[in-house]
Chains A and B, each alone.
Chain A
Amino acid sequence: MKQTQGNNGNKKFGMVINLDLCTGCGSCMVACMAENNVPFKEDETDKLDSITWMRVYKLKNGKSWPNADICYLPRPCMHCGGHGDHGHSPCVSVCPAVATDYSMATGIVSQIYTRCFGCRYCMAACPYHVRYFNWWDPVWPEGMERFLNPDVSVRMRGVVEKCSFCFHRYQLAMNKAFLEGRRVLEEDEYQSACTQACPAGAITFGDLNNPEHAVHQLVQPDPKHAGRPRNPKAFRLLERLETNPKVYYVSSRKWVRQSGDNYLKKEKQKI
């Protein structure tokens, strides 16, 4: 958190999810789990201790037929920039051992598994419930160890984990670029697993600071307001808390956009 602030050529990787396109198929969840060696339990009925770096919520507009409508909302880690986008994410500022950190170079909130001692303060701080605790040691079905992703370390019991925006892919892409004498990645060189897995093309990933990237064009982030979207159909979850997430949602449906935040009754009436 002591890095220099401001753009300075820094990247700000982010995601835009078009909720009008999302069918709730869950491909993003499956791809995420496979890519990141996310452990699972034999019995996954209790979702309160299941690990889902990417989780798809089902939202309803609360109306009856024929006006009933639903929306599926995929929710990865928001990689919050915190107040004023200074890197003081809700989780980063509370971790007592700097086991989670905010990178000004990429805008990614990291999780250092070997540093985390499992106090779970970050989980208490995160309003999006993107942080998961390893209540058990991971147990893989026989033979599955051979199919784990060698680029992602598996986590042991007693530490917190979360979506990393597939940071290992960024490292691999940067390694390749360095070997080829480049310092800048092309947009398609670093894409998260969920983005590539989405059959509907609902997820777009890229550098929010780069006007040439699709994510920037889709939401038109306002740098004067910590990246708040200028596209009227785009929104971020819990905008009023000033967590400044880097995951944006787009929907043409008003009720979906309103579902992203809390409003007082009188405010709702005005809306």
Chain B
Amino acid sequence: MDSALIPQGVNRCPLWKFALGIAIVGAVLMWGVYAMMLVWIKGLNQTNMNDAYGFALWIWADLSVIALGGGAFFTGFLRYVIGINDLKNIINYAVIIGFICYSSAQLILGLDVGQPLRGWFIFWHANVHSMLTEVAFCLTAYFGVLCVEYVPLLLENRQLDRVPFFHNLSHNLHEIMAVFAATGAFLSFFHQGSLGGVSGVLFARPFGFREGVFVWPWTFFLYTWSAAACGPCFTILITKITEKVTKKKLVKDNVIQILAKIAGWMLATYMVAKIIDTIYWATVTAPSKGFDLMTFYSNNPLYGIWILILELVVCGIVPAAILITPKWRGNPRGLTLAMILAVIGVCLNRWVMILQVLAIPVLPFENWALYMPSWQEIATTILPVCYGIILIMISYRYLPVFPQEKELNPIAG
């Protein structure tokens, strides 16, 4: 029924199957929408956040999706600015994933403020000293860039491409894409960094606080670095999942290997920097405020030293080692394992840098504060995941997302 919209020369599942998939994911999405409406109508009392946990699951989700969406800016930077031509075969998908991540982040931010209708105050009454101001400006601007990067792909839909204006617009946008990619990389550097600065500047929260250079704490640079390392890992992971679901090879191995190798070296160098940062923080910064390392990891039922080891070793050094070793990286299982670990690692880093910061008592006569999200928080966090799946399903079905798909999956006859 919808064959006229499907790119030529590729196979897609029957419409009923596609519609059924959309309906199933859509049902979960509607659950999230219901929770979202509850939050907007009744307020943040629908969450389990409290005065100790002003930031919680949503902020973690925000920081995580933005880090994972970093594949878009970094792959774009590698493809258009550095000129690694092979990456043209995965850049479309990286842009779609980035678009989903950043639009999800905006949605979550819209939920997470007490007075959503005053959200524009952050632009109108901007405080130049606040990291959140920088986040808001750069994130919004970069989302605009992502929209511009997504548009040419949308216009490549078979029916839209027949309209001369759209065809020419798409072509011309492709021609100047390097400008947008460079702008995107510049903006991403600042918003990824300022997200790192969110906890890094909290000089009265010794777990999060870091020294730095000028107005930027070290976490500013670490967040950008980790997003550039783990964002492409997420792009590859989602590509692999898409290949599993569609039962097709969509991107050639050499393309995946190039991106995985670069991500691996980014991750390896990030880990060196992160470990140096951790050692300095644990031996100099925190003790100067009266805290030794183990006070951050004891006297509570959840946050033990295991979390630091999991982040740095299991989800940091291990995936970095796999990805920079050609033999291990070339093994499909090794590659998948590294991708999963890297993604978990960056999400874990965002978790501790937000939630553990707040959980740790700073006043000596206070106790640890632990928190369990409400179902409304969980549903609204799953909502963007469902939205992402649906957008990927629609994009994959109707747009030529993978340039190598035809070649890798020739239609018989």
Contacts and interface: CB of A to CB of B under 8 A. Distances in A.
B129 A1 contact: yes
B54 A117 contact: no
A95 B45 contact: no
Contact of B290 (A98, A157, A261): A261
Interface in B338-364: 357-358, 362-364
Contacts of B116: 117
A117 B369 contact: no
Most A CB contacts (10 A, CB to CB) among B115, B116, B122, B202 go to: B115
A48 B203 contact: no
Given A133-B44, A240-B288, A241-B203, A121 B130 contact: yes
Contacts of A120: 54-55, 114
A185 interface: no
B139 to A, nearest CB: 12
B243 to A, nearest CB: 40
Interface in B82-126: 112-116, 118-119, 121-122, 124-126
A73 interface: yes
Contacts of B132: 94, 96, 119, 121
Contact of B363 (A94, A97, A237): A237
A101 B41 CA distance: 30
A262 interface: yes
A25 to B, nearest CB: 19
B334 to A, nearest CB: 39
A34 interface: no
A117 B202 contact: no
A236 B115 CA distance: 34
Contacts of B278: none
Contacts of A46: 50
A115 B121 contact: yes
Nearest to B129: A93
Interface in A189-245: 237-238, 240-243
Nearest to B201: A94
Nearest to B288: A240
Contacts of A123: 51, 54
A264 B126 CA distance: 39
Contact of B44 (A118, A131, A237): A118
A48 B204 CA distance: 20
B205 interface: yes
A158 B44 contact: yes
Contact of A88 (B53, B129, B198, B369): B129
B289 interface: yes
A135 B363 CA distance: 24
A260 to B, nearest CB: 7
Contact of A135 (B45, B202, B292, B358): B45
A159 B365 contact: no
A123 B56 CA distance: 12
B229 interface: no
A175 to B, nearest CB: 27
B51 A262 contact: no
B287 interface: yes
A166 interface: no
Contacts of A243: 203-204
Most B CB contacts (10 A, CB to CB) among A125, A126, A157, A265 go to: A125
Nearest to A98: B127
Nearest to A268: B290
A135 B130 contact: no
Contacts of A259: 364-365
A263 interface: yes
B131 interface: yes
A127 B363 CA distance: 7
B163 to A, nearest CB: 42
A132 interface: yes
A116 B118 CA distance: 8
A83 B114 CA distance: 29
A262 B364 contact: yes
A126 B116 CA distance: 23
29 contacts: A93-B130, A96-B127, A96-B132, A117-B116, A118-B118, A119-B113, A119-B114, A119-B122, A120-B55, A120-B114, A121-B55, A125-B204, A125-B205, A127-B204, A128-B362, A129-B363, A133-B51, A133-B54, A135-B43, A135-B44, A136-B45, A156-B115, A157-B114, A238-B204, A241-B289, A262-B290, A262-B291, A263-B290, A265-B292
Given A46-B50, A117-B113, 13 more contacts: A1-B129, A90-B203, A96-B126, A97-B118, A115-B125, A117-B121, A121-B55, A128-B362, A132-B51, A133-B54, A157-B43, A263-B290, A264-B292
